[in-house]
A and B are shown apart, each in its own frame.
Chain A
Amino acid sequence: MEQFLEQIASGLANGAIYACVALALVMIYVSTDHLNFAQGEMAMFSTYISWQLMNWGLNFWVAFVLAVLVSFVLGVIIERAILRPLHNAPVLSVVVVFIGLLAICNSVAGAIWSYLIKEYPSPFPKSTFGFAGVIGPHQLGVVLVTLVVLALLFLFFRYTPLGLAMRAAAQNPQMARLVGVRVDWMLALGWGLAAAIGAVAGIMVAHIVYLDPNMMSGILLYAFAAALVGGIGNPGGAVVGGFIVGVLENMVAYVGNMIEKTTGVYIIGNGEKLTVALIIVIFVLTVKPAGLFGRVVVKRV
C-alpha cells in the first residue's frame, strides 16, 4: 500500500513536468498549427539562462522572472526571424527547421555551458510537511506551479482583449485580419508565450532531472504523449494528459511487479513503461482522434 501511494505521488510529480512541457507544445500548436520539436531544447536553453543569472548572484525568483522574460523575447525573435519567411512553406520545411533548431540549441548550450550535469536548486522549502516519504516539497511545488500557469493562461485567453485577439488570429486568420487584429504579431506572441511556459517547465524540471543539454530529450517524448492524450488543442487537456501519462507509467511498473509477485511470471515492468504509455496514446487516438478533451474541428468545404 505504501508503495502504491509513493508510486502515485511520484507519478503525479513526473506528470506535472510532462504537463508543463505539453502546455508549451499546445501553446504553439494553438497559435500556429505546428508541433514544435525544438520545444524541449528551447526550455533547456532558458533554464541555462536562469542558471547563469543565479550564478552571477541573483536570487532564484529574480532569475526565474528574468529568464521567463528573456525566453519570451527569444521566442518572439525566433518566430520573426526564422519562421516568418516560411509562412507559406510546406509543413515538411517547417519540421526540418524545428529539427535544426533542436540541434542548434543543444550544441550551443553544450558549447557554452559544457555537457557536465549541474545541480539546480529548488525554490521550495526543504522541510517535509506530513508527506514525508510520499511526496517531497519540490514535487508538490511543481504540481502547484503547473496549475498556476494553467490558471493564468485560462484567465489570459478568456478575459483579456489580447488573449481574445490571439484566439481569433489562430482560429480564423482572415476574419481576424479584417477586424483589425495584427495576425503576424499574434503568431509571434504565441511563440513568445510558448517559450516562456517552456522556461517555467525547464526551471521546475531541472531540480529533478538535473541541468544538462540533453535533459529534455526523454521528457519531450512523454510531453508529446501527454498533449496528444489530452487533446493537442486544449491547454487544460494537456495538463490532465500529463498527469495521466505520469501516473500511468508508474502504474505499469507497479502492476507488473504485482503480477510477477503473485504469479511469478514477468509480463510488463520497467522496461515497458514508455511502450505501454505510447500504446495507450495510440489507443486513445484511435477511439477519440481529437484526444480526450479535444474538440472535433469540423470544416465546411
Chain B
Amino acid sequence: MKTNRRTFIGTASAAAMFPGAAAFGQKKYDDGASDTEIKIGNTNPYSGPASSYGAIGKTIDTYWKVVNAAGGINGRKITFISLDDGYSPPKTVEVVRQLVEQDKIFALFQSLGTPCNTAIHKYMNQKKVPQLYVATGASKWGNPKEFPWTMGFQPDYHTEGVIYGKHALATVKDAKIAVLMQNDDFGRDYYDGFKLGLGKEASRIVKTVTYEVTDPTVDSQVIQLKDSGANVFFNICAPKAAAQAIRKAADIAWKPHQYVVNVSASVAAVMKPAGYENAQGVITAAYLKDATDHQWDNDDEMKAWRAWMDKNMPSANKADANHIYGYAVSTLMHETLKRCGNELTRANLMKQASSIQKLRVPLLLPGIFVNTSPTDFYPIQAVQLQRFKGETWDLFGEVMHAESS
C-alpha cells in the first residue's frame, strides 16, 4: 500500500485519539521526563522581603536529594531546578519562561506566592505545563474548568474565613466584630470568606481597618479597633503584624474573643513574640502539626521528621513551620509522581493529581486527608480549630470538611 500524506495524517491522528489503548503499559514521555530523570521546576523568594519563605524551597530541594540518594522514583532521578523570583511577579514570569522554554521542565511544583502564581496562571495553562500544588492559599487555584493545569495544596483562605465566621456566630453572644486585615488579595480572600460565613449577620462587623506591609507597627490600627467597642477580633495579618496586634490588644487592655488566621499560627513566630500570656484563648484553624507544639513531641510522624531534619538539614531552625510545610507537600508530590508509573506525560500527571482518594500525608493533623477529583482541585480542605492554651495549641471540636463555593 502506498502511503500518501493524507492517509498518514489519518492514522497518526487516530493514534493520537486513543493514546491509552496503544500505549498501555509502555513508557511514554513528555518534555522533561525520560528513562533516567524527571525535571521539576520551582520558584521561591530566596531574596527580598519575603525571603523567610525561601526555607520551603530549601526543604523541597533537600527532599529530592534524599529521594535521589535512595534510588529516585520508579528508577528515575528528580532534577529539581528552583529559581529565585524575589516574590516579584514580573521576575516570576521571566524565570518560569526560562524553566518551561529552555530547561524544558516536566512540571512546575510549589511556585510560591499569590501574586507570583497569578502572573503565570494563564501562561502555564496555555503551555499545558502542570502548575502543581502551588504555595499559596488563595481560593482561585481550584478552577479545573478554566485552568485544568493548575492546582493548589493547602486549605484556601476563603474556606478558612467561612469557618471563623460561623464559629464566631455560634459561640459569641451578641458578637460585635472588629477586623484587622492586610490590604491586599490575601486579606480580602479571608475577609470575603468571613463575611460569607457570617451570612445575614455580616452587619455584626462593626469596624474593619487595614494595614500595609510597609507599616512598621499596627498599634494605631488596634487602638481604633478597641475604640469600636468590639468583642470579637479577627486578625488577618502576616506573622509579624499578627504578633504585634495580639500584644497591643493586651497592652491597651482590650480583651475580645480573638481569631488569628492559619498563616500566622506558628508558636515560635507569632505566639511567643506576642507573649504567651497575651495569646491565651486565641483561636485558629490548623491542618499541619506545629513543630514547636509540645503535644506532638512523641508523635511518630513528628519524630520521623525531626530525625530527617537532623540528618539532612542539621543547621536549619526546626521551629520554622516552613520546613514542615515543605516536607509535607514534597511527600504528596512524591506520591503523585510515583502513581504516574512509566507514563510520564503531563496529562497523566494531572490525572493522577486529580484522582487522589483519602491519602494520608505525614504531618497533617490526625483525621485530615488529601482528596481530589477531576472537579475538585483543592487537595486539603479540612481544618480543625484549636485554641491557644499555656504554650501550645489545644485542638478542639471535629475536623471540619468545608466545601468552598
Contacts and interface: CB of A to CB of B under 8 A. Distances in A.
Interface of A: 2-3, 6-7, 10-11, 13-14, 17, 103, 107, 110, 114-119, 132-133, 136, 205, 208-210, 212-214, 217-219, 221-222, 249-250, 253-254, 257, 269-271, 273-274
A14 B244 contact: no
Nearest to B273: A119
Contacts, number: 106
B216 A10 contact: no
A222 B49 CA distance: 17
A171 B253 CA distance: 51
Contacts of A110: 51
Nearest to B209: A270
A253 B225 CA distance: 12
B167 to A, nearest CB: 26
Nearest to B316: A114
A107 B47 contact: yes
The 6 nearest A-B residue pairs measured at CB: A115-B52, A119-B273, A3-B227, A218-B216, A218-B214, A10-B219
17 contacts: A14-B216, A14-B217, A14-B219, A114-B316, A114-B320, A116-B319, A116-B320, A119-B273, A136-B251, A209-B217, A210-B243, A214-B51, A218-B214, A218-B215, A219-B216, A269-B210, A273-B220
B393 interface: no
Contacts of A213: 51
A208 B54 CA distance: 25
B221 A270 contact: yes
Given A115-B54, A271-B212, A208 B49 contact: no
B240 A117 contact: yes
Interface-centre pick from B212, B215, B268 (highest chain A CB count, 10 A): B215
Contacts of A11: 220
Interface residues of B, number: 38
B317 A116 contact: yes
Nearest to B180: A270
Interface in B170-229: 183, 209-217, 219-221, 223-224, 226-227
Contacts of B273: 117-119, 210
Given A133-B253, A271-B210, A208 B217 contact: yes
A221 B214 contact: yes
B223 A6 contact: yes
B112 to A, nearest CB: 13
Interface-centre pick from B47, B54, B214, B220 (highest chain A CB count, 10 A): B220
A212 B219 CA distance: 18
Contacts of A103: 47
Contact of A2 (B47, B214, B227): B227
Contacts of A214: 49, 51
B252 interface: yes
A250 B220 contact: yes
Contacts of B52: 114-117, 212
B292 to A, nearest CB: 11
Given A107-B47, A218-B215, A119 B272 contact: yes
B7 to A, nearest CB: 62
Given A212-B52, A221-B214, A133 B252 contact: yes
A21 to B, nearest CB: 10
A14 B219 CA distance: 9
A273 B215 contact: yes
B272 A114 contact: no
B253 A132 contact: yes
Contacts of B183: 270-271
A257 B269 contact: no
A220 to B, nearest CB: 10
Given A217-B49, A219-B216, A273-B212, 5 more contacts: A11-B220, A116-B52, A133-B252, A218-B215, A249-B220
B46 to A, nearest CB: 9
Contacts of A7: 220, 223
Given A114-B317, A270-B209, A271-B183, A212 B54 contact: no
B239 interface: yes
Nearest to A119: B273
Contacts of A253: 209, 220-221, 224
A217 B214 contact: yes
B162 interface: no
Contacts of B316: 114
Contacts of B344: none
A242 to B, nearest CB: 12
Nearest to B239: A117
Given A119-B273, A221-B214, A269-B209, A3 B223 contact: yes
Interface string B303-326: 000000000000011011000000
Contacts of A249: 220
Contact of B240 (A3, A209, A219, A270): A209
A115 B224 contact: no
A179 B224 CA distance: 58
B265 to A, nearest CB: 14
A213 to B, nearest CB: 7
A24 B83 CA distance: 36
A145 B303 CA distance: 46
Contacts of A117: 52, 239-240, 243, 269, 273
Contacts of A257: 224
Contacts of B49: 214, 217
Contacts of A250: 220
Contacts of A10: 217, 219-220, 223
